Chain A
């Protein structure tokens, strides 16, 4: 630990210069990696935009956005995207009905009631659950949830929105819980102490101080969860079916935007045709919806963080 043996002169000629070149090289490589990932994202957006543009030269935007019949592969062809939007909406609503209450309740338990030990054990579990491949959920929907629903409602179709909604709800549940938990824990401890010192019970502190204080963060978590449910692909492709339909009956087969993209990508629709370009139009719409939801959620979260910093 003596000073003399380890201290080096500041200007140590060649050795330092060599390590500096090395550092610059590393910096350049890292920059390339960052640049590459931005570049790929930008090219994806560019391709989306270009193909969507070609599509909209054939089909009017208004017809696409307001049409209620989606039969791009069958005669007479019709390019009204609303049935796909409705199908997606149905999944999102169904999934939210599960993920929002259960996710919020789990978060409240984790953030406000669980002991430090329980929390330390459970929080990573949430993150692991969030990483389960979604195809597993699709399989789970087909082989377990659908038969269960069919046992209760015999008119249930093999492919149906309810089953897909339920598994998508379960799928986004860990993420919802984890994000809500973060929002609740961002509420300063001093507020809880202040409330307890006024003779509040744990429930009163949670429901009447912590939750209102965390509300914008909690809402943002819900939006992010919904956005994730909108983009969900595998489970809805497997379980919800391929029938673009304007229906609110969850026991019927529907088709979501994502499932439609999968269907056409895997099918033998010739590349370059309008039929093929539909997937880019649908993808652009999907992208626009999820992007704006994510931007809104992040804005809200950022503002929320500012309040408590």
Chain B
């Protein structure tokens, strides 16, 4: 599939894995101002793809396009396509709610609901008419998010009483409870201390066994550590996209090299 939509080798570096998301000539504007310019790329399954680039280059805009979270921003205009497993998520007959059930998201600042830990994790499945054993699902999600050991004796306490790092892992658990295919993370560690950050990075390694992860990060080391693929955006355009190793050690593009070596941005 990625060969048919992406003739350019730069766009589909992980040809050995099938692609979950295909972005085709995507342009996104706020009003008339373009934030994403003619971007095409494919996100392979069960890999961690990092999106890096200077502040304001459009990383969040691109990430939010993947689960139609830009729908909530007035005056957003979009051209091009985003395919999820081959079908256009912006097609007229597609329900954005359904898209978001399959493609979960973790935000920059932990945003647990002001409810108990249990209710937070159970929230997604329960609104979506989940009929199985909710408690099992909660436990499984908390385990996968590496939080179970810390909270299993206080599931009924408020999520707001957790530390920032725990709250972020709770938000990951909350997303996992929906059993999504893809998890989008927008700078998930930027509000966290180094220890919590390390825990979440470890967690991402485990999660990619089952899920496809796209992470936006400002942190070069983090991108280099956790991701399999790296996309470098600048001013809304995709400058370079490839295996993380290659992007960081043998960048093809001059601007990429300057950015990853910290000479600007």
Contacts and interface: CB of A to CB of B under 8 A. Distances in A.
Q: Do A and B come from one complex?
A: yes
B105 A197 contact: yes
A20 interface: no
Nearest to B106: A197
Contacts of B104: 197-198
Interface stretch (B108-116, B218-226, B237-245): B108-116
Interface residues on A, range: 20 to 34
A158 interface: no
A42 to B, nearest CB: 40
A289 interface: no
Contact of A200 (B111, B112, B114, B127): B127
B94 interface: no
A131 interface: no
B178 A194 contact: no
Contacts of B264: none
Interface residues of B, number: 26
A218 interface: no
Nearest to A190: B111
Contacts of A115: 74
- A interface secondary structure, majority: helix
Interface in A207-237: 208-209, 212-213
Interface string A181-196: 0000000101101111
A196 B124 contact: no
B113 A195 contact: yes
A18 B127 CA distance: 69
Interface string A167-188: 0000000000000000000001
A19 to B, nearest CB: 45
Interface string B124-156: 100110000000000000000000000000000
Contacts of A199: 97-98, 100-101, 124, 127-128, 178
A116 B113 contact: no
A196 B69 contact: yes
B113 A188 contact: no
A197 B188 CA distance: 15
B107 A190 contact: yes
A193 B100 contact: no
B111 A188 contact: yes
B67 A197 contact: yes
Interface string A113-124: 001100000000
A37 interface: no
A197 B112 CA distance: 12
A208 B101 CA distance: 17
Contacts of B69: 193, 196-197
Contacts of B115: 212
A196 B71 CA distance: 11
A307 B123 contact: no
B72 A204 contact: no
A193 B123 CA distance: 14
Contact of B109 (A190, A209, A212): A190
Nearest to A207: B127
B157 to A, nearest CB: 15
Contacts of A307: 114, 160
Contacts of A208: 123, 127
A193 B107 contact: yes
A116 B75 CA distance: 12
Given A198-B124, A199-B124, A191 B113 contact: yes
17 contacts: A193-B72, A196-B69, A196-B72, A197-B69, A197-B105, A197-B175, A198-B100, A198-B101, A198-B104, A198-B123, A198-B174, A199-B100, A199-B128, A200-B97, A204-B127, A208-B127, A212-B115
The 4 closest A-B pairs by CB, nearest first: A199-B101, A198-B124, A197-B105, A190-B111
Interface of B: 67, 69, 72, 74, 97-98, 100-101, 104-105, 107, 109, 111-115, 123-124, 127-128, 160, 171, 174-175, 178
